[in-house]
Each structure stands twice: as C-alpha cells, then as structure tokens.
Structure 1
Amino acid sequence: MPKATVKLIVTGDDFGYCPRRNQGIVECFLAGAVSNVSLLVNGSAVSDAVQLARRYHIPIGLHANLSEGLPVCPALKEESSLLNKEGFFHGKMGIRTVLAEGLLKMLAIIIVIIYHCLPEIRHVFAQVLEEYGIIHTRVPIEPDLPHCSWIDPHLMDFYLGVEKDSLDTVDVFTKHGIRWPDIYIGLSTMGKNMSMSNILRAIDNATTDFLAKENASIPSSSPSCPDQGIRTVTIELMTHPGYPSVPPVGGCGEGPDDFSQSWERLHELKTLKNPELQSHYETRNIQLCAFKDL
C-alpha cells in the first residue's frame, strides 16, 4: 500500500449560531483542534463571529443555508418559494418536499445560495461559486458510512439520501471547476458518536480505501504510480463543537434547536481538544490545514 501524508481540514460548523457556539469554536481553534470554520450568515451571533474571526485570524468559509431560520436577503422576506407561510425556510426535510413537488423556483436560489447538492439547486450553486471565484466546497460523501452500525436507522436513511444527491453532484461541480477534498467524514462521528477512536478509524479506513482505489486505477508501469512516492490525501472532518445553547439566545430567528442545546456539542468540543488526539495526528502524519491551504 502506498504511503500518504494526510492534510486534514477540521471544520467547525455553524459559526455565528449563538455566542456559546462561537466561544467553543474559538477555543478549539486556539487549541489547534479546529482549522477552518463555516459561517452561518443568518445566525443570531454572526456579527460576534465575524469579529472573532478577524481577531484570531480564523480561516472562514460560508455555510450555505437554504433550510433553517429566517433569510437575511430583503428580497426574500417579501415572498419566496423558499419560505413557508410564516416566513421561515422550510427546514431540512421540508425543502426536499417542496423541491420534489416542483414548487421551488430557481430564481429564489440565485438570490440567496447544507443543501447545495440537491437536484437543480446544485446547478445554480455551482454557477454562483464559479462566477464569484469560489473554488472549494463540501461534497458530503463519507466512504465508510454504510458500515457504521451505531447510527440510528432514521438518520442513516437521511444520510444515505444526502450521499446519493452528492454523488449526482460531482459531475456538475467538476464542469464548473469547483474542487473539494479527496475525502469527507463527519456524519459517522457527529455528536454522541464522536470519539477519538471513531475519528481515527474514519480517517484510516477512508484513506486506505482511497489509496487502494487510486492505486488500482494507475498501471504499475506508469511514472505517476503512487508507489513511486508519498501521496498527499486531503480530508475534511465536519464538526459541531461548542457550549450548549441556552434559550432564548441563539438560532437563526426561531431560537436554538434541540441539536444546539444538547450536551453533545460540549462532548465534541472536549473530544477535539483532547491532547491525545493531537498526538495521534502527529504519529499518523496528519497535518491540520484550512481550505485556503489546499
């Protein structure tokens, strides 16, 4: 098996959701446990998040949100197929229903650009990224996911649906010159399922599988065969560290949800900051980096 250096992007998602989430993500960044963040533009603490990112020079990306809370775009607040009759986005499952029923107008997507891999939306999303010179995005296809028996069945069905949509998006993103890390992980290690052993298992299994497939596709006589040198494999690990939200503070206009109030946010924070995990990264030649370093 060819040797590899792993460049790992540990993304702290939902930066700006609430002050306690911001606090936890910043702590993780300063501890070297998170290397990139995704900014939730309609989060209640987004201004605080932006100031923190500037103060601590935190690499930042945008968390595309078409499903949760209130829109920030004035044009959408009037009337949009992206919103329900109360003026909120349709939610994680609601947007899929509206899309399947043909009720989602693509013009609304162009106005605002989690669900960038859904049918039709993927084309608009890719066009917008190309027009604005954004070359990296997330494609949530987790190699070892079907073998993760500890994931609740209803969540597994949802995750596999996300992966199917993501697989169908690859050609669209490629056409528009958009890139993403070689490997994505994070669904199998989210919340209560995050542990040092699960993170390392996911990284090791995904890297081994990726290199094996790559090696099999290159003739042994080829001068570019991975066995001729050390391959650099890029991975994004999606995380949601932070201190649990305390109502009514937080959210995207509707207050904090159960996910953000859960003890699992703190569990992720403590796991990621564990010095033993950092030590394992070093022994496995895993180097933390940001999207800008790819």
Structure 2
Amino acid sequence: MRLDLADLRLFLCIVDAGSITQGAARANLALASASERLRSIEADAGVRLLERHARGVAATEAGEALAHHARLMLRQQAVLKGELREFAAGGRGTVHLYANTAALTGFLPGRLAPWLASRPRVQVELKERTSEEIVRLIAAGLAEAGIVADAVDAHGLHLQPVAKDHLVLIVPAGHRFAQAGAIRFAAVLDQPFVGLEPGSALQDYIGGHARAAGRELALRIRMKTFEGLCNMVSHGIGIAVVPQAIAGRHRRRGAYQTVALEESWARRRLCLCFRDWAGLSAPVRSLFTHLGAQV
C-alpha cells in the first residue's frame, strides 16, 4: 500500500465524523478532493473500507482495521515530532564534550550539574584531552566542541574565555622555595615531582613545558586525583604544578605552600572552543550559553 499520513488522517476524519462531507471539512479539504482521495485509498487497499448509507458512512471490518493502525501511526508520529522538537531545543540528545584536566576537575562539575539536572533527557559524554589535542580534533572535524586553555594555538577556531585557570607550584611547608613570591619553572626542574597518572591532559601539558626547558620531570609518584597529589606534596614526597583553584581547595587539609609561576603559559584562561556557533548542535549551544558563551 502507498498510503501516506495525510491519507490516514483524512480517513480517520471521515470515520470519526461518520460523513464524507464533514470528514473533508475536518481535514480542511474540498469535498471533491476528499472523495477522490478516498477512492484512491480504497483502490490501493483493494478492499471496500466504508459502507455508504443514507445518513452517512460507517467503516467496514477492513476499514476498522485500517482506522486502528492509522491511529497508532499518527500517535507515533506525534511522539516522534515531540522528540525531534526536544532535540532541536537542546532538551534531548547526547553532548560529546572534550575538556582539559582543569576544566574537568575544577570548572565543569559545579556548572554542569544544574544544567544537566534540568534536562533529564540529555546525556553528556566527557573526554579528557590536552588543549592541543582538542583543537586538532575540532579543526579536523572530528569533534564538535571543547574547553581548552587559551595558551593553545587555536588554528582559526573560536575561543571564548569563561574562567581563569592559572597554574601554580605547590611545595611542602619548609621547602626552600616555600617563601618565594614567584619562581621560574626552569628553576625547579631539578626537584622531585608528584604528578598525575599517565594520560592526564594537564600532566602532559606540564611535561611538555619541562621538555621545552630541556629537562624531563623527575616523577617520584603519580596519583589519580588532585587530592592524593596534594597529600603527597604535604608529606614532602615532592613538588607539583596544579591549577590555582585546586591548590586553594585542598590547602586547608594540606601542609604545603603555593608559589606563583612566572611563565606566561601558567597564566591561563579556560575557553570554550568551537568552529562555528551556528554549526553547533542545540544541546551544545544550550550548554555553552549556560557556561558563559557570548553570542
């Protein structure tokens, strides 16, 4: 059968009205047009669907079967339309978001939670990458959007700052660098370090700047969390570079001192990164607006 949804809607209007004339009016069709389409429907079905009588029409057994399935199909169409409207409005779907370590651990949790809580049909898949990797993925069309540090070369992509993300050195209390107001990164590279686990975007970033200074970090231990890292530094295991917000968060429980880094790469800002605002999916546009995007 080649019936379309308009045919099914017309047929139901006629059956429910018990009249071809009234059914045509409900379907906003001229009587002649409705009658012609009804003949085509019956011809396509290969069976009589309506009984004509003096007071109107009534569905045959075959017509009742068609009406039953037509109601199911039109109801499903309404459900589909509703779901598509939710996708279009950003209230449904999956957000694939790439973010550097600082964004994942410090910036996103408190800001993402209320947005996600108000959208129960939205899922978010977070992936940690370095800022450089995120920019490469977006530039290549392999990722839609991400959150990166502004120190990265954006390759023509849009970067919108949304938060400060300065990196600082933390050292055990009593360490010879503890009273320094600020220090160059190269001056501390002879010290043992506490780092984050392999694959951490932030640790890769710090390691890259150490290599740029001609050294490899002497990592005594790698920790899965910033809490564990700060605890190790407090016990004198080594020094570490962490986001300033992280250093402040764990400072009350840790016996360490915070020292500013003089390098410009340590004075970062977190930025929303994307190719084109109009090309973003509705859920991502909604999230980025919530996070502070200026459009």
Higher RCO by CA contacts (8 Å cutoff, separation 6 or greater):
1
TM-score using structure 2 length? 0.26
- Return the index of the structure with the highest Cα Rg: 2
TM-score using structure 1 length? 0.26
Greater share of strand residues, 1 or 2? 2
